[in-house]
Amino acid sequence: MKEEKQKPQPTNTPSTPLLSASETEVLKQASIINSKIYLPWFEDDSTDSFWTQEPFRDPDGFLKLSQEQHEKFGCWKRVPELMANPRMVSRMSSSSIVQDVVTDCSFVASLCVSAAYERKFQKQLITGCIYPQDADGMPLYNMSGKYVVKLFFNGIYRKIVVDDYLPVSKDGKLMCTYSNLLDEVWPCIIEKAYMKVNGGYDFPGSNSGIDLYALTGWIPEQIFINDYKWNAEIQWKRMMSGFKKGRALITLATIDMDEERAIKIGLVPTHAYAVLNIQEADGQRMMQLKNPWNHRRWNGKFSHLDNESWTNGIREALHFDRAKALEHDDGIFWISFDSVLQYFESIHVNWNPAMFSYQHVMHVSWPLEIGPMVDAYTFAHNPQFGLEVNATDDSSTMWLLLSKHVTTKDENKDYITLHIYENTNCHRVYYPDMYSVIHIGAYVNSPHILASIKIPQGKSRYTVVVSQNEKTRSLTFSLRAYGKHPFLFGAIGNEYPEEKEIRHRFKVGSDTKTSDIHVWEQSLTIEAGQICIMTEAQENVTLKLKFVDSKGAVIAESVGGYRPKFAFVEFALPEKGKFQAVVTVTGFSGSNDVNDIEVSLNVRSEGRITWEKV
C-alpha cells in the first residue's frame, strides 16, 4: 500500500482549512463514537430549530447509568419539573458546581476552572459552547428542552444534541453534576452532552487535560511531578505566568494513598482538584484548590485548622478569613506548593492556543497492516512529517500535539508517542539512531501527546515520527503544530513513483544442515535516478544489504554492519543498468527447530524497475 503524498502546507490557514480526500475519510470514520454518529460542527448549527411545542426528547434515548446511579435511581425528570424558575446561567461561580455520583471528578474540576476563568477575566469560555444563545452569545434556557453542545472531539468541533431529562434518585435528588445556585442549568446540560459522547453516565473516568480539551480546545499538557525531567522552579514560574495572564487552566491529581491517611490529611486519593488561584506571599508559594465534591478539605499546613503558619502578610495577600473558613466547608482551601509536591502526582495544564500566531493540523490514518507490530528496529513505515521553521530570534518554540481518535469507551491500550529529529532536511527516518534526536517521547496511553522543542534563529528542518510501543489495531489521529513564527508542516510520503517488492523464503535449523549465514542475490534492472532499497524480516535475524553492479563493484551498502530485522540503502544512480541486491541474513543459528525465514526486498525508484531471473 503506497502512502499518500502530501506537500507541506502554509501555517496561517483559516479556521476551517480545506481537507484532502484521505483527511475527510479519517474524520468521517472518527464521527462514529460509542455506536452513535456525531457530525462535524457547522456555523448554521447555532441556529438549529430549538423551539418546539412539545417537549424535546433525544431520539438516541436516555443515557446509560452507572452502577451507583442504578442503585439509587428513581426516574428521569425534565428541568421544569426540578426547578421553579430555570435559568441557563445565574452567576458564573466555581464554588457553586457540585459533583454527585458520576465518577467524573476531572470533568467537574474542568467546569470549575472554566467558570473561574470566565469570572476572573470576564471572557466567555465554556458557556460559549451551549446553544441556543442570545445575541451576545450567552446560552439561553429552552422551555422545549432541546440543546446543542459544541465539543472538540476526534480532531474537530462536533455537534452533540441532548434533551433536558436528568436522572433523579428515589428521594428526589439530582444524580448528576449540578449548581447549588438553585435554578442554574448549565452544569447539568454540558455534563450530559459530554457523558453522551463518552457513552453514558457510566463514565470510566478521565483526566482534566482531556476534558478541558474537549470543552475549550485549549492545548493539554500533563506534567508528572516525579518525572526525571521535573523541575519545580521552572514549572511554578510557567504556571504562575500562564495563570496570571489567562493563558492556562490548571488542575491537579492526588497520589494514591490508604483511606486512613487520606482522611487524616483531608485529601481524596487519585482525585482531581481545580486550581482557582495561584499566589506568592511572604516567600510562600500558594495554590487555592477546590474539591469537586464541594466538601472535604486539606487539613495540613496552611489549612483552616492551622493556626501557626498563617502570617498576617500571607493572610492579607490571600484574603484568607480563618474564622469564616472554620464555619463552612465548601471544598475550597489554600495549600502550599511544597505540600502539593508531596501529595499530588500530576499537574494538568491546558494552554490557550491563541498564544501561537501560526497553527496547522493534519488528520491521519495508520492502518495496522502498514509496518511491523514493533518499530524498535525501523521507523521506515511509520507516519512521518517534515517541519521547517524560519525563526527570527532564538527564543522560539514549536508545540506538536498528537490526538488519537477515540471511538469506544473501552480501555485505551495504545501506547504512542512522538519523536523529533533535527538536521534531517525533512527526510524520512529509517533507523531510530539515524539522526540526532531532539525530543524522545515517552510511550503513554493517553489520547493526547504533547511535544515541544526550542527553535534556534534561522531556518531549521526536522522530522517528526509517530511511534507505538506495540501496534494492536488501526489508528486514526490528528496532529497539530503550533508556532510563533511561520513554518511549513506536511506528511513525508513515498517520494518515488515506482515501487516493487519481492519476497524470499529459506529454511534454517539443525536438520537442514545450513550454515549460520544465508545470502540472497536478486538481480534487477533500474533506470537512472534516486533509489531506495529496503530489506526486512519479521523473524529475529540480522540483515545486511549491498547493491552491486554487473562487475561486482559495490555502489551502496547499508551502514552499521548487520542490523536487526531491517536494513536499507538510499542513493542516486547515475545511469541505467543491470544490478544485484545482495541480502545477507544471519543470527538464526541457535535454533534446533526447522523454521522458515522470509525476507522482503522493497525497491523504490524514480525510474522503471524490472526484476531479473537469477
How far is the C-alpha of 77 from the C-alpha of 172, rounded, in Å?
10
Inter-axis angle of helices 186-197 and 105-121, to 10 degrees? 130
Q: Would residue 568 count as lying in a domain?
A: yes
Reported confidence tier of residue 14, pLDDT bands at 50, 70, 90: very low
323 and 387 within one domain? no
Q: Residue 464: give its domain's CATH number.
A: 2.60.120.380
Q: What is the mean pLDDT of residues 368-386?
A: 94
How far is the C-alpha of 92 from the C-alpha of 111, rounded, in Å?
10
Q: pLDDT of 445-479, one tens digit each? A: 999 999 999 999 999 999 999 999 999 999 999 99
Q: What is the mean pLDDT of residues 159-169?
A: 97
Q: Are 476 and 30 in contact (CB under 8 A)?
A: yes
Report the candidate in 74, 101, 108, 80 with the shortest Cα–Cα distance to residue 175: 101
201 and 88 within one domain? yes
Catalytic option among 105, 129, 426, 532: 105
487 and 516 within one domain? no
Domain closes at, from 215, 245, 268 = 215
Neighbours of 370 (CB within 10 A): 14
Quick check: 101 pLDDT over 90?
Answer: no
Reported confidence tier of residue 2, pLDDT bands at 50, 70, 90: very low
447 and 299 within one domain? no
* H-helix segments, 177-258: 186-197, 208-216, 232-244
Please tell me the least confidently modeled range out of 12-16, 82-86, 435-439, 575-579. 12-16
Which residues are within 8 A (CB) of 310 and not within 5 positions of it... i.e. 6 or more apart?
302, 320, 322
Measuring CA to CA, how many Å separate 386 from each of 15, 24, 371, 460, 481?
Answer: 22, 21, 19, 11, 11
Q: What is the mean pLDDT of residues 290-298?
A: 95
Q: pLDDT of 104-127, one tens digit each? A: 899 999 999 999 999 999 999 999
Number of domains in the chain: 4
pLDDT over 70, % of the chain: 95
How far is the C-alpha of 73 from the C-alpha of 75, rounded, in Å?
6
How far is the C-alpha of 369 from the C-alpha of 395, rounded, in Å?
41
Q: Residue 21's pLDDT is what?
A: 94
266: cell is: 483531608
How far is Cα of residue 452 from the mean position of the Cα atoms in its chain?
14
Quick check: 365 pLDDT over 50?
Answer: yes
Q: Residue 495's pLDDT is what?
A: 83
Question: Which amino acid is located at 487 in the chain?
Answer: F
291 flagged as catalytic = yes
Neighbours of 444 (CB within 10 A): 16
Classify residue 348 as exposed, middle or buried by CB count within 10 Å of its CB (0-12, 13-18, 19+): buried
Reported confidence tier of residue 229, pLDDT bands at 50, 70, 90: confident
| DSSP symbols for 367-413 | -TTSS-S--SS--TTS-EEEEEEEESSS-EEEEEEEEEPP-S-S---
Catalytic option among 142, 154, 291, 382: 291
How far is the C-alpha of 469 from the C-alpha of 532, rounded, in Å?
26
Quick check: 388 pLDDT over 80?
Answer: yes
The per-residue pLDDT of the chain, averaged, comes to 92
Q: Would residue 343 count as lying in a domain?
A: yes
105 flagged as catalytic = yes
Q: pLDDT of 503-553, one tens digit each? A: 999 887 655 455 678 899 999 999 999 999 999 998 889 999 999 999 999
227 and 144 within one domain? no
2: cell is: 503506497
Domain closes at, from 468, 491, 514 = 491
Quick check: 158 pLDDT over 60?
Answer: yes
Q: Would residue 581 count as lying in a domain?
A: yes
**496 vs 11: which has the higher pLDDT:** 496
Reported confidence tier of residue 6, pLDDT bands at 50, 70, 90: very low
How far is the C-alpha of 99 from the C-alpha of 208, rounded, in Å?
14
Q: pLDDT of 15-72, one tens digit each? A: 446 899 999 999 999 999 999 999 999 988 877 788 888 999 999 999 999 888 899 9
Q: Which domain holds residue 287?
A: 220-351
Q: Are 400 and 418 in contact (CB under 8 A)?
A: yes
Which residues are within 8 A (CB) of 263 and not within 5 positions of it... i.e. 6 or more apart?
none
Q: What is the mean pLDDT of residues 300-327?
A: 94
Reported confidence tier of residue 203, pLDDT bands at 50, 70, 90: confident
Q: Residue 276's pLDDT is what?
A: 98
307 and 410 within one domain? no
Neighbours of 91 (CB within 10 A): 11
Domain closes at, from 491, 522, 543 = 491
Catalytic option among 176, 271, 405, 439: 271
Please tell me the least confidently modeled range out of 4-8, 50-54, 55-59, 387-391. 4-8
pTM of the model: 0.92
pLDDT over 90, % of the chain: 84
Q: Taking the alpha carbons of 127, 133, 138, 144 in that order, is the dihedral positive or negative?
A: negative
